[in-house]
Every structure is written in C-alpha cells, then in structure tokens.
Structure 1
Amino acid sequence: MLPPEFPPLPALTRAECEFVDSYLEVVDLLGRINPARSTHTYGALRAAQALVGRAAALKDALALMHARGESEVHAATLAEALRVLDGERRAGRVTMPPPIPSS
C-alpha cells in the first residue's frame, strides 16, 4: 500500500522557497522557546541560539527576493505553500495553549 499523496506545492521561485523554509524554521524554533509550552530551559536555550542564524537566513531570503526584483509577496500562493508544509500546526506551537479548566 502506498503512503498518502500530499498536495503539490505551488510554483515558487527559489528565493520564495528559501523564504518559506526559513520562515517555518523560525516558527519551529519560536515554538520550542515558547515559555507557555516548553518544559526545559536547555531546549529553549538551544532553540534561542539557533534562532539567530535562522532569522539571518530569513532576512537573506527576503533580501535576495528584493534584489531580484521580486518586490511583491504573493500571500495567497505562499499561504498555500505553508499549508502544504504543515505551517498551521507548526505556527500553533507559538501561540498560547488553551487554559486548563480549574477544578
């Protein structure tokens, strides 16, 4: 039996791919740092240290897009790519968890 087939990614430039990939890496790291969700300081510290490099990669991807004349962000297309790459779940770790009902 074959694994389920994922929807195809929309057509993106290389710089847009780097933008989306770097953005999701930053989101993943922020989710690991989130004080409302993290459980250990060491893991959060390592994520915070890695965040610096990933934020620089995100900046570089945007600078490359700008330098190539890609002056507009095609939000609908990039949002579709983020959804295909499980961006909603990944971004959900950055938000506050639901409150625990009091007894």
Structure 2
Amino acid sequence: MQPPEFAPLPALTRAEGEFIDRYLQVLDQVGRINPAHGGDTYGALRAAQALASYSAALRDALAVMHERGEARIHAATLTRALRVLDGERRSGRVTIPPAPPSC
C-alpha cells in the first residue's frame, strides 16, 4: 500500500519558506496557550516561553525578506502553503470554540 500523496508545496523563496515555518511555530504556541482549549498551566507556561523565541525568529524571517527586496507578501501563494502544511487545523486552536446552543 502506498502512503497518501500530499498536495505539492507551492514554489517559495527560502525566506518565504522560513516565514511560513516560523509563523506556524508561533501559531502552534498561541494555540497551546489558549485558555478556551483547556490544558494545564505548566504546558501554557512552556508555550508562552517558547512563543518569545519563535516570535523573534518570525521577526528575523520577515527582516530577511525585507532586506532581500521581497517587499510584498504574496497572500495567495502563502495561503496555499499554509493549507498544505495543515495551517487551517493549527489556526483553529487559536480561536474560541462556538458557544453551545441554548436549551
């Protein structure tokens, strides 16, 4: 049996790839901190500590893009990359779940 074939990642510059990777790391940590999804304080504390370094790495990735003359963020291409890398599920942890229906 063959493993499932994933959608190909769109062509990205190295800086765009770094930007997407760091963005997803930040997103994952914010999702771990989100009080609406429960968890324990120690896990949230560890995620908050990691968030600081991942945010700095995200800033650095954007600085490299800017320094290289990549002045525009190509939303359509980067959105495709986020979808391929499971960004929709990962960003869902950042939101507040819908309220249960009233009885």
Category of TM-score, reference length = shorter chain: over 0.9
Would you identify which runs of 4 or more consecutive aligned residues in structure 1 move more than 2 Å?
100-103
Q: Distance in 1 between matches of 2:94 and 2:88?
A: 10
Q: How far off is 1:38 after superposition?
A: 2.7
1:64 Cα deviation from its structure 2 partner: 0.0
Q: Name the structure 1 match of 2:71.
A: 71
Matching residue of 1:59: 59
Aligned length: 103
Counterpart mapping for 1:7-18 below 5 A: 7-18=7-18
Corresponding residue of 1:19: 19
C-alpha separation in 2, matches of 1:99 and 1:41: 23
Letter in 1 for 2:18: E
Task: State yes or no: 1:29 paired with 2:29.
Answer: yes
Distance in 2 of aligned mates of 1:50 and 1:66: 24
Query: How many angstroms apart in 1 are the aligned matches of 2:64 and 2:96?
Result: 33
Q: Percent identity?
A: 71
Partner of 2:3 in structure 1? 3
User: Which residues of structure 1 form unaligned runs of 5+?
Assistant: none
Shift of 1:66: 0.2
* Matching residue's letter, 1:97: P
CA apart distance, 1:100: 3.0
In structure 2, runs of 5+ residues without a counterpart are: none
Q: Is the Cα contact below 8 Å between 1:27 and 1:91 reproduced in 2?
A: yes
Query: Alignment RMSD, CA only?
Result: 1.0
The 2-side partners of 1:84 and 1:78 are apart by 10
Q: Which residue of 1 aligns with 2:91?
A: 91
